[in-house]
Structure 1
Amino acid sequence: MKTRTVGEVMTSEVVQAHRAISFVEVARLLDEHRISGLPVVDGDDKVVGVVSQTDLTRYQAAEDARAGGWAPGAPGTPGMAGPPAEELMSTPAVTVHPEQRIADAARVMERRRIGRLPVVDEEDRLIGIATRRDLLRVFLRTDEEIRREVADEALARAVTLTPGSVNVSVRDGLVTLEGRLGHGSDIPSAVRSAWRVDGVVGVVNRLISSAEDGSHPAENPAPQRN
């Protein structure tokens, strides 16, 4: 069983901006590369912020209101380059490390309502970028792919199984475990191992233990959550 990490799906060639580049230059980079945002770095390539289309739009709207309909610094305005990226960017930047689990990075994106995460090394230097699309590709797995990994790899490594003792079924990423394990203490390990498989959104535990250790059926028809 192999848990995917951010480093496996990130883009290493990162379009980035230095703190001093202007509004117009940032807008040009976003348009040229067809992206919605980019990290801002200092002289040591450490991420100090992120500037997005939303940041540019917010600035333009404020300038437009102050100028009564004319926004200095807008692309195409002669002689006006606008403020530097460090005045436009959102800071501090939310970053991740390459060894972090994709599922954890996806939760950060959802919680912070952002579409991209700069990936940094142990010294906070920029080494890549992970977008929502990069992370979602991991979760676009078929139920059969998930079922095979849970049955053939995850459970086999977590507990001792006899042939046919546990049935694994998957529907829309929801894993159901049914059957009998030798010891009651193996049940939590089996459930945890299924949860760690990429693409799993929930686990229904219908496992029971053999009578030899005195355990009673442990059934929980509702999906268990982290």
Structure 2
Amino acid sequence: MARIVGEVMTREVVEARREMSFKDVVRLLDRYRISGLPVVDDDDKVVGVISETDLIRRQAARSTGLLTRRLRLPPLGRSARRAAAAARAGTAGELMSTPAVTVHPEQRIADAARVMERHGVERLPVVDEEDRLIGIATRRDLLRVFLRTDDEIRREVHDEVLTRALGPSAHGVTVSARDGVVTLEGHLEHLDDIPLAIRLTYRVDGVVGVVNRLTVRVPSGPVGPAKGPSGPGPEHR
């Protein structure tokens, strides 16, 4: 069924310490050709994240500060003070964005992708139950899961949803997939099985939509009128 973050994360993580200098952070990003890294404390707990954006913002703030001093311009309020603080930042602890947005290894990849999109980040530090760094999940790691072929998706829906989860109730149900959209067609034994089949199909990695053509199987043979409670009927005079 759905894959989890721990299956796709990178376990060898390039990290920074709070006291690491601006130049050393830049060297790390350049050496490993990455665009960001987590910052950890002495207990390996994630305390922040540094991205190229943070570094560029620092350099831009320094340039603005130099120009302001050269021209003797008046201060610009709170935003100017924040820019001045960024310009003075010289260590990873001063440059990092905090708190860090993190995930746990047992979280579903689809959920991690939503977290990444919601916060507009390119990578998510993966932490254990004590917030210690154990891996990193990048946007590319998560997207690989959604690059499955339609045939792979169809087989998993058939094997895991119809055969394993629904069992005999799904006998005769057919499944097809095109561009990640799965179509379920046929008869199920029980009405409650229809939303269950749709929900489980959506949880299969790579599925982007479900077309529901399922109905409830009608029992064979004539169906007689419903009988009321047993016992003598009303007396007619």
**What's the TM-score once normalised by structure 2's chain length?**
0.81
Tell me the equivalent position of 1:197. Answer: 204
Where 2:167 maps in the other structure, the secondary structure is coil
Residue in structure 1 matching 2:131, options 124, 132, 135: 124
Structure 1 range deviating more: 100-109 or 148-157 = 148-157
CA deviations 1:60-91 (Å, max 9, x no partner) are 0010111139xxxxxxxxxxx96111111111
> Aligned-pair RMSD on alpha carbons?
2.0
Spell out the pairing of 1:66-77 with structure 2 (5 A cutoff): 66-68=65-67
Q: Do 2:171 and 2:188's aligned partners in 1 also have CA atoms closer than 8 Å?
A: no
Q: Do 2:126 and 2:134's aligned partners in 1 also have CA atoms closer than 8 Å?
A: yes
**What's the TM-score once normalised by structure 1's chain length?**
0.85
Identity of aligned residues (%): 69
Once superposed, which parts of structure 1, at least 4 consecutive aligned residues long, lie more than 3 Å away? Answer: 161-164
Equivalent residues, number: 202
CA deviations 1:24-53 (Å, max 9, x no partner) are 110010001000000000110100000011
Q: Do 2:163 and 2:170's aligned partners in 1 also have CA atoms closer than 8 Å?
A: no
Spell out the pairing of 1:124-143 with structure 2 (5 A cutoff): 124-143=131-150
Q: How far off is 1:203 after superposition?
A: 1.1
Tell me the equivalent position of 1:33. Answer: 32
- Unaligned 5+ segments in structure 2 are 69-87, 221-237
**1:165 matched to 2:164:** no
Q: How far off is 1:208 after superposition?
A: 0.2
Aligned equivalents of 2:92, 2:28: Cα separation in 1: 12
**1:10 matched to 2:17:** no
CA deviations 1:196-223 (Å, max 9, x no partner) are 111111111110001249xxxxxxxxxx
Structure 1 range deviating more: 20-29 or 182-191 = 182-191
Aligned equivalents of 1:211, 1:6: Cα separation in 2: 42
Q: How far off is 1:157 after superposition?
A: 2.0
Q: Do 1:22 and 1:82's aligned partners in 2 also have CA atoms closer than 8 Å?
A: no
- Structure having the higher Rg: 2
Tell me the equivalent position of 1:211. Answer: 218
Aligned equivalents of 1:189, 1:124: Cα separation in 2: 35
Aligned equivalents of 2:109, 2:52: Cα separation in 1: 25
- Unaligned 5+ segments in structure 1 are 70-80, 214-226
Aligned equivalents of 2:41, 2:10: Cα separation in 1: 20
